[in-house]
């Protein structure tokens, strides 16, 4: 990955995706992973076997910071997905305009193609 914030855990996901925007998305989520790593390093310092009041205080601070980081990444995910949905809707709408416009012209041209055939049907119907 060429971004300033390179997160090792993201590299296989980015490569596997094959998407051009993969590195951009990884860059968006990298700060959350960096924060997670920092908080994880801080969590390791807590005595899990015989915790003191200070250990309990640090554990609470780290846990609350992890919750904040986790919910922030969820908000970023929702924002990123909303942007993608807007792009998807735009692509579909542009496609629909081309399709609908084409079908109108095709129907008009088909009427011209079948004009003589339809006139002959009308003539035969009038004779019956």
Question: What mean pLDDT is reported for the chain?
Answer: 92
Q: What is the pLDDT of residue 128?
A: 80
pLDDT one-digit tens code per residue, 27-54: 999 999 999 999 999 999 999 999 999 9
Do residues 83 and 67 lie in contact, with contact meaning Cβ atoms separated by under 8 Å?
Answer: no
> What's the pTM?
0.69
Q: What is the pLDDT of residue 2?
A: 41
CA 31 to chain centre: 18
Do residues 58 and 45 lie in contact, with contact meaning Cβ atoms separated by under 8 Å?
Answer: yes
Mean pLDDT confidence for 67-71: 98
Mean pLDDT confidence for 62-90: 96
Do residues 39 and 67 lie in contact, with contact meaning Cβ atoms separated by under 8 Å?
Answer: no
Q: What is the DSSP letter of 8?
A: G
């Amino acid at each position: 990955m060429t971004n300033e914030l390179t997160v090792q855990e993201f590299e296989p996901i980015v490569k596997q995706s094959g998407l051009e925007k993969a590195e951009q998305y990884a860059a968006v989520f990298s700060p959350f992973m960096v924060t997670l790593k920092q908080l994880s390093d801080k969590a390791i310092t807590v005595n899990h076997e015989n915790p003191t009041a200070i250990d309990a205080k640090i554990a609470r601070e780290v846990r609350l910071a992890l919750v904040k980081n986790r919910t922030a990444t969820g908000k970023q995910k929702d924002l990123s997905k909303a942007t993608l949905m807007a792009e998807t809707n735009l692509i579909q709408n542009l496609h629909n305009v081309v399709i609908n416009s084409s079908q109108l012209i095709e129907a008009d041209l088909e009427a011209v193609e079948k004009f003589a055939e339809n006139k002959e049907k009308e003539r035969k119907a009038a004779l019956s």
